[in-house]
Amino acid sequence: MPGFEILATFVITALLLSIVPGPGMLYIAAQTIARGRKAGWHAAVGTHFASYIHITAAAFGLSLFLQLVPAAYLALKVVGALYLFWLGFRFLTRDEPIDDGMAESDQDSHIKALKESFFVELTNPKSAVFFIAFLPQFADPHADWPLWAQIMVLGFVANLIFSLVEVSCVIFADSVASFVRNSRSAGRWMRRLAGSVMIGLGANLLLSQR
């Protein structure tokens, strides 16, 4: 593994990157506002596990394909954007009970949030390119461990840091939403806000450059 200085720099950099509000935080906050705190936890878990696929792809050079083949990057970006549009439209047009954080009866909604967030993260080419660009910078080609193993470990640490910040995001979003959750009309407006955020994220992904 890299030396202590490099690892310390890596952890500090990952912490700084994790606290910068980005599309991932907004998406998890939107799921929390629309469906409640437990759905927010599940959304964070889905994002966490999907990131391991990007990390594995980075470790074995697969994500490099997205950088070398613009058509593949564009195709994945379009699929991800369209999925976000579809999720946003569903939130805008369909009512779904909002969990108060205590009841266990809405498990299907939680699993749905997990699956949706997993697919959203999986089809985000910017995440794939981020890991292939970020992690190898801190791998030491002269270390005893092979590069792919170093990247996997670094990716695990970075993903854990990102997920801890996302948990804080869920807590904050749920605290804000709890003020108006008892009102049915307010709940409807929260879902519309969440849907609008997801559509906005889809548009941002679709229009963004690499």
Nearest-CA neighbor of 14 among 55, 74, 49?
Answer: 55
- Domain boundaries in the chain? 25-93+107-207
Query: At 51, which amino acid appears?
Result: S
- Quote the pLDDT of residue 70: 83
Higher-pLDDT residue of 180, 25: 25
146 to 101, 108, 133, 142: CA distances (angstroms): 44, 42, 18, 9
pLDDT tens digits along 84-131:
999 888 878 876 555 544 444 466 778 888 999 999 999 998 898 899
Closest CA to 47 of 153, 99, 124, 157: 124
Q: How far apart are CA 40 and CA 19, in angstroms?
A: 17
Burial of 5 per CB tally in 10 Å (0-12, 13-18, 19+): exposed
Residues near 71 by beta carbon (within 8 Å), at least 6 away in sequence: none
83 or 96: which leads in pLDDT = 83
Q: In Å, how far are 62, 122, 165, 189 from 93, measured between CA atoms?
A: 38, 25, 30, 11
Q: How far apart, in Å, do the first and last CA atoms of the chain sit?
A: 30
Q: Taking a C-beta distance cutoff of 8 angstroms, is the pair 162, 135 a contact?
A: no
E-assigned strands of the chain? Answer: none
Which DSSP letter does residue 180 get?
A: T
pLDDT digits (tens, 9 = 90+) for 163-172: 999 999 999 8
Mean predicted lDDT score pLDDT of the chain:
83
Contact assessment for residue 61 and residue 128, using Cβ atoms and an 8 Å cutoff? no
Rounded distance between C-alpha atoms, residue 123 and residue 54, angstroms: 10
